[in-house]
């Protein structure tokens, strides 16, 4: 049941931010909403009730590293699209591994 609530809450919040991104112009501004805290809002709200604030704080600390990895991932994707003319599917899909490596690497180095 917990996962069903997560699924619906996450889906709704992500969709809301996606619609904002669809209608806002210029496109570079709309891109800000592709990195909105949509999944975090759904997950951390539930975690606050279920696990408590200390647990949420620990997730927040790790999320900083995930967000830095996301920002670098987007820079790489932008370069693959502009300089190497990759398609969006190829650029965003192939770079997901890079996000994972960076996020786990930062965590290992800075948190342990």
Partner 1 sequence: MIVHAKFSALGESRWYEYLVRFVLGGLTTVVAGVVADLYGPQMGGLFLAFPAIFYASATLIEKHERQRKKERGVAGQRRGTDAAALDASGAALGGIGLAAFALAVWLLAPEYGLASLVIGSIAWILVSVTGWRLHQEIRHSR
In terms of Cα–Cα distance, which of 106, 65, 69 is closest to 77? 69
Told to check if 109 binds partner 1 by CB under 8 A, we report: no
Q: Provide the minimum distance between the beta carbon of 90 and partner 1 in the complex, in angstroms, as a whole number.
A: 10
What is the C-alpha separation between 60 and 43, in angstroms, rounded?
Answer: 11
CA 33 to each of CA 7, 99, 100: distance values in angstroms, whole numbers, following the listed order: 20, 18, 21
**108 part of the interface to partner 1, by CB under 8 A:** no
Q: Which of 28, 97, 101, 109 binds partner 1 (CB under 8 A)?
A: 28
CB of 1 to partner 1, least distance (A): 12
Q: Is 1 near partner 1 (CB under 8 A)?
A: no
């Amino acid at each position: 049941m917990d996962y069903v609530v997560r699924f619906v809450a996450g889906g709704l919040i992500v969709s809301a931010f996606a619609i904002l991104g669809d209608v806002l112009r210029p496109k570079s501004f709309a891109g800000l909403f592709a990195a909105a805290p949509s999944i975090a809002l759904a997950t951390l709200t539930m975690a606050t009730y279920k696990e408590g604030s200390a647990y949420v704080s620990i997730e927040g600390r790790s999320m900083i590293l995930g967000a830095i990895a996301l920002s670098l991932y987007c820079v790489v994707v932008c370069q693959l699209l502009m300089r190497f003319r990759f398609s969006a599917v190829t650029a965003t899909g192939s770079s997901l591994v890079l996000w994972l490596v960076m996020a786990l690497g930062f965590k290992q180095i800075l948190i342990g």
